[in-house]
Structure 1
């Protein structure tokens, strides 16, 4: 049952894989170091799932 639930969840992610801790860390790192001109943005780290 758990494997079926995992397969169903993965089917809803366009990139076809779950995110890793590094994905979140990289987004946070970008915001604290390079994003000096980013204001009022929403950065979704979801593998494209929110597009569906």
Structure 2
């Protein structure tokens, strides 16, 4: 419906990458931590499409 579409457009406007996150986005971050980030400790990795930068 029209109200739901307006709410979705408003939410997407707050995400610099212009899309919602996908399961693969989280999986890629986890894969990076498991395979390549062997010296990373105590880090917070935000997988939010840049939303937290606004």
**TM-score interval (norm. to shorter):** over 0.9
- TM-score where L is the length of structure 1: 0.93
The separation in 2 between residues aligned to 1:15 and 1:34, in whole angstroms, is 24
The structure whose Rg is larger is: 2
The separation in 2 between residues aligned to 1:5 and 1:37, in whole angstroms, is 41
Structure 1 consecutive aligned stretches of length 4 or more whose deviation exceeds 2 Å:
none
Q: Which runs of 5+ in 2 are unaligned?
A: none
RMSD of the TM alignment (CA)? Answer: 0.7
Q: CA deviation at 1:19?
A: 1.1
- TM-score where L is the length of structure 2: 0.90
Q: CA deviation at 1:11?
A: 0.2
Q: Which runs of 5+ in 1 are unaligned?
A: none
Q: Secondary structure at the match of 2:38?
A: coil
